[in-house]
Structure 1
């Protein structure tokens, strides 16, 4: 076991709800001590800026382009992460000088591995100077350049978290804007892939139809009726026939099939789409999971959880049921991956992203002698 490093992870997910910050101590392998975590919601101006940035990114051809609002959004996003780190350290009572590394996800605005392109907004150098801490960022890029999907990256952390659970195989599902799944076999073998939509279609539907940012608790979907014809149409997307590893962009799927439905029926149908797509992932698994653990914002949607439980044959539980924090899990993972990156350990694998061989990744930025205010 190597020396434990003190790491902070920063996750800004596809749901555009805010910044998750988490602190862990780890050697990047089996030694792991989970610490405090916080979520800092975006204000409406930042959320709107990111929505516009994602729209502006649709036609990007290279990773370095920042046309239209993208440059301004990247700087504003980075500064907001720096402020979140400062607030987190103060509230948690952690000395900045004790932090060995920060894992910075940034905001994904385009993910198209089929053309070798993944773009996350986030200026590692600026964040390093803002926080006065080393920053590891751009953790997906090397994998995509090597022919991998660049996602999901969390499976290595999932395996470390669940090493002592008696159930095997197990599935850990993260329902953010997109839903992804890690299957862990009895021998520790990993299979991971995006399963389909998470909250993104539901959130966008609610915003358009009701003005709300999400279907809180799945209440609107619970009042509606699933339109089976629309659901069949949604599930006919070619993505579901692809063999994993595979990954998605937030905007891969369209809600066109439900546009004529009421707010309630549309929400119910899109929620069923998320649940059925997750359950459909069993077609690609070497064995049926004995336990389904759900993390991410989607675990709070009682309708998603109910619909998923109706589709699979074993228990479906929120992350908290096994002592984890479903909000901070991905931020914790980014801290863990940053430590692995610093130590040159693999962060992606053939069974998780389709990369030809296990490989490390990420860029490291150290603070310069001059503090940026």
Structure 2
């Protein structure tokens, strides 16, 4: 398997759900039900999984342990974070948007070794032997996402990770969706729906990482969940890049810089005129899609630039409300954005429903993305879809992921045996 997980073929159809599945015979609507088409022949045995996430913020690796049958989360284990050294982060940042090359191969090897270390750190911390883990979900690090060209690249060597850990690894989660005509993102939507089983609906789960994306979850008439998802716009990436440029710091901690600034409304209004924000979902973005707006804030103070870029993220979310089937009764915020007090205050002002961090629902906001890829790895093992027409725009519920067995051969759609 190419260590740059680019494009790929996958199997489509089958079941999809948090508690069930999508009716694959009906045309996709604005949101799809997760109830009627469950494949009752799928093995319901719970599996222990580790999920790994290297987010677009490039802070480091999040690792999370959980037990799931691919439809429900039955038990949460521990979580661990493995920060990247600044030198490695710089090398990784330099590859964003790039094609494979010698330097990339070196980074892939180091990235994979660091992910192995993150798994080992997690298992040591919680006292779990590697032999007790059924599968590892390895997202890798996204360096390029161009779904309109059917192109997505996540750096990482799934086979090498399986060999290092002695544990089966599922990697390359996005390629089958993109190859089938979907956006390959957002992918955490079915996990969000599984987590929201006890939350009053409709609810919106807003993940603010480098890119911001929303999962809308409602009650379906058949008793399941309606799910819809899309990228609303930039997340923290622009603010992070601005703060790095102006101060050398990695982010606007707690939103203190933006809090002291004045928003340039004319700039935000102009940026929101981009056709992306008028296009209906499903839709997705690359981390650097709007990198050019940084040139427009040159000449502003550090505070005004941070405030203006933060407002861009927030107002893109507010504008995206128009695409939701019905207004959510609550917004649950995850990702690094939930720790930005200024961003959270702006969201509270811009959205008509209560805005809360996911911790208010009893979720772990630091572990959620890693947990999602543990969940998706188990769904991949069981042959369950990872994406729906209403979450990525793929033509039909689509399976994904490539299984790598220690000392073995990569295979799409394969189980553990």
Q: Please state how far the C-alpha of 1:92 moved relative to its aligned partner.
A: 1.4
Verify the 8 A CA contact 1:234 1:257 in the aligned structure 2: no
1:3-38 deviations in Å (ceiling 9; x for gaps): 110000000000000100000000001243122111
Matched, 1:192 2:250: no
Which secondary structure does the structure 2 equivalent of 1:195 belong to? strand
Q: Please state how far the C-alpha of 1:260 moved relative to its aligned partner.
A: 2.1
Matched, 1:228 2:261: no
- 125, 131, 151: which one pairs with 2:159? 125
Alignment of 1:98-177 (within 5 A): 98-165=132-199, 167-177=200-210
Normalising by the residue count of structure 1, what TM-score does the alignment of the two structures yield?
0.95
Partners of 2:77 and 2:152 in 1: CA distance: 30
In structure 2, stretches of 5+ residues that fail to align are 1-42, 409-417
Partners of 1:336 and 1:79 in 2: CA distance: 22
- Corresponding residue of 2:17: none
Partners of 2:318 and 2:269 in 1: CA distance: 14
RMSD: 1.1
Q: Please state how far the C-alpha of 1:366 moved relative to its aligned partner.
A: 0.4
Verify the 8 A CA contact 1:52 1:69 in the aligned structure 2: no
- Corresponding residue of 2:58: 16
The worse-fitting range, judged by mean Cα deviation, of 229-238 and 149-158 is 229-238
- Corresponding residue of 2:248: 211
- Corresponding residue of 2:289: 252
Q: Please state how far the C-alpha of 1:331 moved relative to its aligned partner.
A: 0.3
Aligned positions, number: 360
- Corresponding residue of 2:92: 50
Partners of 2:102 and 2:310 in 1: CA distance: 33
Verify the 8 A CA contact 2:379 2:386 in the aligned structure 1: yes
- 193, 216, 220: which one pairs with 1:183? 216
Q: Please state how far the C-alpha of 1:69 moved relative to its aligned partner.
A: 1.9
Partners of 1:83 and 1:33 in 2: CA distance: 23
Verify the 8 A CA contact 1:282 1:288 in the aligned structure 2: yes
Q: Please state how far the C-alpha of 1:272 moved relative to its aligned partner.
A: 0.5
Matched, 1:97 2:97: no
Partners of 2:256 and 2:247 in 1: CA distance: 13
Alignment of 1:337-348 (within 5 A): 337-348=376-387
Partners of 2:124 and 2:167 in 1: CA distance: 15
Matched, 1:269 2:322: no
1:110-163 deviations in Å (ceiling 9; x for gaps): 000000000000000000011110000000000000000000010100011011
Which secondary structure does the structure 2 equivalent of 1:171 belong to? strand
- 379, 383, 399: which one pairs with 1:360? 399
Which secondary structure does the structure 2 equivalent of 1:48 belong to? helix
In structure 1, stretches of 5+ residues that fail to align are 61-65
1:79-122 deviations in Å (ceiling 9; x for gaps): 11011111111111111000000000000000000000000000
Verify the 8 A CA contact 1:220 1:268 in the aligned structure 2: yes
Q: Please state how far the C-alpha of 1:256 moved relative to its aligned partner.
A: 2.2
Answer 1 or 2: which has greater helix percent: 1
1:297-349 deviations in Å (ceiling 9; x for gaps): 11000011000110111110001111001110010000000000000001100
Matched, 1:78 2:115: no
Q: Please state how far the C-alpha of 1:284 moved relative to its aligned partner.
A: 0.4
Partners of 1:235 and 1:116 in 2: CA distance: 25
Partners of 1:15 and 1:227 in 2: CA distance: 25
Normalising by the residue count of structure 2, what TM-score does the alignment of the two structures yield?
0.85
Structure 1 consecutive aligned stretches of length 4 or more whose deviation exceeds 3 Å:
none
Partners of 2:236 and 2:102 in 1: CA distance: 27
